[in-house]
Amino acid sequence: MSHHRRCPINDLSNLKCFSLTCFIPTNTYDNRLIPLLRRMTYLEKLTLYIRLVDRSTFVDGTYLHNEILMHMSQLHRFNFYISTQIPIDDSVHRLSDDNIKQTFNNIGYYQTSCIVDYYCSLNAISHVFSLPFLFNRLEMITNRFSSIIFSHVTYLQVVDTIQFNYSFCHSNY
């Protein structure tokens, strides 16, 4: 017989720490994950690693603040990596790294980075993440990542629609 107290899944309001790592691209962020996170009102530490697909816009600081962070008044540590892959055409306004990074600065998250890549004529991907980068996996990256050091990464998936420079991968050995 177990003496562990079980918490009902509906009672998330007293949860202090939550971590979600999902390597498989998902399209359920808005209708599944956002409602779940909003129920964690007293969360103090949040760690997210998610890859999003089938969205019309990139996830940026403004969106994270309005949909998640403003509902977590006790949050003091937020480690994240969120990649968003979207279809594009000529009607899509092409945001830059700085455009998206500024949305994080606007909400007081200065230790972040953003890399946006329009890697083919039909797709774009945005990678937003907290610094230092604490995760061990990066996927769907291009040669635009070459100036950032990811010391914890042990799994790397590269999209080589644009040829990589030989100095992309450095070793400290």
Q: Per-residue b/e over 21-50, b at no fewer than 16 CB within 10 Å? A: eeeeeeeebeeebeeebeebeebeebbbbb
Check residue 9 and give its pLDDT. Answer: 57
Question: Is residue 7 assigned to a domain?
Answer: no
Q: Per-residue b/e over 87-120, b at no fewer than 16 CB within 10 Å? A: eeeeeeeebebeebbebbeebebeebbbbbbebe
Question: Is residue 97 assigned to a domain?
Answer: yes
Angstrom distance (rounded) from CA 65 to CA 35: 14
Under-70 pLDDT residues of the chain: 1-11, 146, 160-173
In 3D space, the residue among 92, 93, 91, 138 whose CA is nearest the CA of residue 113 turns out to be 138
Check residue 168 and give its pLDDT. Answer: 47
Host H or E run for residue 82: strand 77-87
For the chain, what is the domain count?
Answer: 1
Question: Is residue 171 assigned to a domain?
Answer: no
Question: Is residue 104 assigned to a domain?
Answer: yes
Q: How far is CA 59 from its chain centroid?
A: 8
Give me the long-range contacts of 151-159 (CB less than 8 A, separation at least 24). 159/119
Angstrom distance (rounded) from CA 84 to CA 117: 11
**41: its two tokens:** 């009102």
Q: Cβ–Cβ contacts within 10 Å for residue 83, how many? A: 22
What pTM was computed for the model? 0.84
Question: Is residue 123 assigned to a domain?
Answer: yes
Check residue 10 and give its pLDDT. Answer: 63
Domain region containing 26? 17-158
Mean pLDDT of the chain: 85
Question: Is residue 126 assigned to a domain?
Answer: yes
Question: Is residue 163 assigned to a domain?
Answer: no
Half-sphere exposure of 42 (CA within 13 A, CB side): 6
